[in-house]
Each structure stands twice: as structure tokens, then as C-alpha cells.
């Protein structure tokens, strides 16, 4: 974190603490923390920005009842812990922040842990982001690395150059979680292809796909972390590389693919940094199950949870595009889903040599 950003964060936290102190001591009133409400009921689709954004609803967090005291205390404890992290010029994962702030509260007879679990700690970190307006990567709190990248791109991390094309048939590089420490030195690829899972990326990479089509392969290994989403956005918007996304043909896979393109309800407040509106979701479409003759034995029966998820997606204002409605209707009619890996029933090279090239040709990328 830069010295300027570090000082900005510390100044904001001190201002918040002083306001709380003044409310209690000088004004003799309950302190209140105002922050944007995060969730489905305050997520707004922006046609102009082509992404999910946060609405105008606010949440007031105050220690004005026994039930609300823990949440108020947790936010302040986490803000203080982040300040301490910066004072010591250190870095931590969100898991590390959970342990750093873990303690027992109450007397010997009513002792309990300060956090009921890491979800509470993670929510407190998110609250600190919202209260300060500073993303957690900029105050040196990151997640465990998940994203992987391979192809003709060079990254500078600290003083080291990472050539992601070296051994690209054999291995991929982890995307550093603190993307602020990463500089992209050179990109020679024609386009970026994102796939949902690392197992699929490995298959495509070993086939020689990168060399044949001059592509960068990326994965968030399932639900993508923020660093992977930011890397995709930078490659598209700063380096002007087209981005295509492939995920499993089920409502959850479609949701993961759309994280890159439109964002998510849980991180709608950070869409400007994370979302790549120009990304194209090319597959795996529900219609691909039938157009590419996936054998019945390789198809999966939709669960009630899958069907509920699809019905919910159909109602979302950002899913009213005719293509998505048609695909979701097909899924609800057939009640079948499919993984990208199912193409291996046609042979281990079918995915990289037949399905993906056909999709990319239709998109005009090869």
C-alpha cells in the first residue's frame, strides 16, 4: 500500500473513532455507523455501465441493543486491527485477520468467542471497506490465491519477472492476490479465454491450444476471487484484449461466468474495479448439450436447487436478454445440466480441438 493510501486509511479510521467518542462522551448519545446496504435487495442493474451496482439503501449499525452490540464492536475491532496491520507495514489474508482478532468475551461463566465463525470476520472486513471507501487489497488484506494464468504474458511482481508462457504446456502461474503489486509488462496474445475450473484449463493448456491460437488462458478455479476478476478487466480495458468466458452448463456455472461480465450482488459496491462488461459468455450453453450431442450418460439431472436458481435468474432485470431467457427456458424444460468436462466423452482433445474453436470462430476471434 502506498504511503498516501496508508495515511488516507488511518485518517479515515481516526475520524470514525473520534466521531464515536464525541457521540458518547460529548453528546451523550448512541453512536451510529452508516454504510451502504449490501445484498440482493439493494443491488441495481445499470444499463449505462452494463453492470450490477449498489443502490441508495443504507444500514445503521449502533450498539443500541444487546443484539446489535456485537456487530458494532466487531466492525470497530476489525478497523483497529487493519490500522495495526498498516502501522506494522505488514500484509495478511482474510483468514489471518480472523485469527488476529479472535478472542474470548464475557466472564468465566458466560465465556464465548468474539467471532462465531470466519463469515462474521469477513463481513467486518467488508464493512471496513464500505466505511472507508478503500478496497481491502489497498489496505493489505487479501484472500488465498485461486486464479491461474498461462500464455504469452509477462508479469512483474516486486523485482521478479514472471513469464507465463514458459512451460505453458506444463504449468500455469498463480495470480497474486494483491493485484496492486502486479505490473503487466507485456502481452502478445490475441485474446483472453476464461474457463470456470482449473481442471478444464489444464486439459486445454496441455493440448497446445495456447500456441495454436495465441491465447491467454485464465481460471478463477470456480467462484473467482477478486484478483482474477481484476486481471481479466485490466487485460480487456487497458490492453484491449477480447475476453471470452466458458463455464459449466448449469445455473451455477452461468452465474460464475456472469461474475466476470456483470458482477455479483455481494460485491456490487466494487463492480467498477471487478467487472468486464465487454466480456462474452460463449459457453457452455444449455443448448450446447444437444447441439454437440453430449451423450445422455454424461448429462446430469437438475436438482430442485438448480431449478429454483434458474427460476430466480429468469426474473432478474439483468437476465432479460432473449438469449439468456431462451437458454434458461430450455434448461427448465429439459431439467438437465452438463459440465465442460463431459466433452471428454467425445475424446480428450475434443474440447480444445473442436468445441472451443467452433465457438471462437462464431465469435470472430479465430
Q: Which residues are annotated as catalytic?
A: 99
Q: Which of 93, 157, 143 is nearest to 267 (CA)?
A: 143
Q: 3-class DSSP state for residue 275?
A: coil
Q: Which of 107, 238, 254, 134 is nearest to 184 (CA)?
A: 238
Residue 339 to residues 111, 146, 302, Cα–Cα distance (Å) = 47, 20, 12
Residue 335 to residues 184, 285, 287, 330, 339, Cα–Cα distance (Å) = 43, 14, 12, 8, 14
Which grid coordinates belong to 330? 430450455
Which grid coordinates belong to 353? 480441438
Neighbour tally for 193: CB within 10 Å:
26
Which grid coordinates belong to 316? 432478474
148 phi and psi angles, rounded to 5 deg: -130, 145
Secondary structure E strands in the chain? 33-36, 43-46, 51-54, 58-61, 92-93, 104-105, 112-113, 141-142, 148-150, 153-157, 160-163, 173-174, 182-187, 191-195, 215-219, 243-246, 280-283, 300-301, 336-337
22 phi and psi angles, rounded to 5 deg: -65, -40
Amino acid at each position: 500500500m502506498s504511503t498516501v493510501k496508508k495515511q488516507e486509511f488511518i485518517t479515515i479510521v481516526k475520524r470514525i473513532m473520534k466521531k464515536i467518542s464525541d457521540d458518547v462522551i460529548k453528546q451523550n448519545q448512541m453512536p451510529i455507523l452508516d454504510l451502504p446496504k449490501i445484498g440482493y435487495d439493494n443491488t441495481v442493474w445499470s444499463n449505462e455501465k452494463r453492470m450490477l451496482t449498489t443502490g441508495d439503501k443504507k444500514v445503521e449499525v449502533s450498539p443500541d441493543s444487546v443484539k446489535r452490540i456485537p456487530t458494532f464492536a466487531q466492525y470497530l475491532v476489525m478497523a483497529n486491527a487493519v490500522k495495526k496491520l498498516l502501522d506494522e507495514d505488514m500484509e495478511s489474508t482474510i483468514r489471518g485477520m480472523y485469527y488476529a482478532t479472535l478472542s474470548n468475551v464475557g466472564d468465566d461463566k458466560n465465556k464465548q468467542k468474539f467471532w462465531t465463525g470466519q463469515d462474521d470476520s469477513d463481513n467486518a472486513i467488508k464493512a471496513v471497506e464500505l466505511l472507508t471507501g478503500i478496497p481491502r487489497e489497498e489496505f493489505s488484506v487479501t484472500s488465498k490465491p485461486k486464479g491461474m494464468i498461462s500464455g504469452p504474458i509477462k508479469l512483474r511482481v516486486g523485482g521478479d519477472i514472471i513469464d507465463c508462457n514458459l512451460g505453458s504446456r506444463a504449468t500455469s502461474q498463480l495470480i497474486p492476490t494483491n493485484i496492486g503489486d502486479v505490473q503487466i509488462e507485456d502481452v502478445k496474445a490475441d485474446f483472453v479465454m476464461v474457463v470456470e475450473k482449473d481442471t478444464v484449463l489444464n486439459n486445454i493448456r496441455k493440448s497446445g491450444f495456447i500456441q495454436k491460437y495465441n491465447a491467454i488462458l485464465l481460471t478463477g478455479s470456480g467462484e473467482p476471487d477478486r484478483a482474477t476478476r481484476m486481471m481479466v478487466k485490466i487485460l480487456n480495458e487497458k490492453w484491449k484484449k477480447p475476453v471470452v468466458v466458458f463455464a459449466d452448463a448449469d445455473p451455477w456455472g452461468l452465474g460464475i461466468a456472469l461474475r466476470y461480465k456483470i458482477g455479483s450482488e455481494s460485491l456490487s459496491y466494487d463492480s467498477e474495479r471487478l467487472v468486464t462488461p465487454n466480456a462474452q459468455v460463449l459457453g457452455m450453453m444449455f443448448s450446447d448439450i444437444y447441439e454437440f450431442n453430449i451423450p445422455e450418460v454424461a448429462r446430469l439431472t437438475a436438482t430442485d436447487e438448480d431449478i429454483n436458481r434458474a427460476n430466480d435468474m429468469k426474473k432478474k432485470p439483468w437476465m432479460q436478454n432473449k438469449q439468456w431467457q431462451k437458454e434458461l427456458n430450455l434448461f427448465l424444460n429439459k431439467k438437465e445440466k452438463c459440465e465442460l468436462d463431459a466433452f471428454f466423452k467425445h475424446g480428450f482433445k475434443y474440447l480444445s480441438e473442436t468445441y472451443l474453436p467452433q465457438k471462437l470462430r462464431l465469435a470472430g476471434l479465430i
